[in-house]
Amino acid sequence: MAVRSGDDPGGDPSPGRPGGPDGRGYERAAEAIAAGVQGAGPEEMPGRLCTVVVDLLPVDGASVSLRTDGMPVQLGASSARAAHLAQLQATLGDGPCQWVLRTGAPVLVGDLESARSAHRWPVFAQQAVAAGVRAVHALPLGSDRLCVGTLDLYRTAPGGLTDGQLEVARLVAGVMTVALMALPHEEEPEYRGSAPWLSGLAADHDTIHQAVGMIMAQLGVGADEALARLRGDAFAHGRTALDVAGDVVAHRRRFESP
């Protein structure tokens, strides 16, 4: 449910936080971003920027995920709750983040308990509220032609973002995109033989990828079906896909044909 920033209560700028895209408020946001990432290596940037955006905006958590052919790769989060919300969306294959990945457009949800949210994401909305989150604002990373990931912002109380706050969020998303594009690719000559792109950042994705391969072998199915079975098992037991994948890789969970 895409909502305009001003449609929700609580959307006014908080005291001491940037109030608009022009003037000193926006300059302070740029300065805070620069200070927050100073000295950070490429692999630290996603987590640092998640922390910075929480300090800049009236949100309580942030996470960043990279688009892949399967489940999104979570690259960083400001807190354990933010990381859990990102994994929850990946497990369900639904939620604001997933909609952004499909459409490339921002999805701003001021109240997950609204009728529209409950209709659009019935399971995710219920579980997010149970986890203490009432609003989610997801922004695309990349360009108008290609969405490479999402920056997701979480609030424990209902509320939107003002136009100025949304511009600050877009500024952070833009810096995040540049940081992701600057990460070394394993095919580049200077990095051949070294750690692959996103090594260390995408360890969770590697676990899921390995688990999907094992489920394919156990059931004799393709990758899409194996991932669907992994997600379904996680949902049925109230767990994340990453938790179940860890059990599969550690041989604590085996999938059997019906």
Per-residue pLDDT of the chain (258 residues; tens, 9 = 90+): 333 333 333 333 333 344 444 556 677 888 888 888 887 776 788 889 999 999 999 999 999 988 877 678 788 899 999 999 998 888 888 899 989 988 899 999 999 999 999 899 999 999 999 999 999 999 999 887 888 899 999 999 999 999 999 999 999 999 888 877 766 554 444 434 434 445 555 566 678 778 888 888 888 888 888 888 888 888 888 888 888 888 999 899 998 877
Q: What is the pLDDT of residue 126?
A: 92
Cβ pair 184, 36 in contact under 8 A: no
Q: What is the pLDDT of residue 151?
A: 96
Q: What is the pLDDT of residue 23?
A: 54
Full-model pTM: 0.75
Q: What is the pLDDT of residue 241?
A: 82
Q: H-type helices in the chain, by residue range?
A: 24-37, 45-56, 80-92, 96-103, 115-120, 122-130, 163-182, 203-219, 223-236, 241-249
Residue from 217, 182, 205, 220 nearest 69 by CA: 205
Residue from 219, 167, 180, 159 nearest 75 by CA: 180
What is the C-alpha to C-alpha distance for residues 103 and 147, in angstroms, rounded to an integer? 8
Token pair listed for 89: 């969306």
Q: What is the pLDDT of residue 155?
A: 97
Q: What is the pLDDT of residue 112?
A: 96
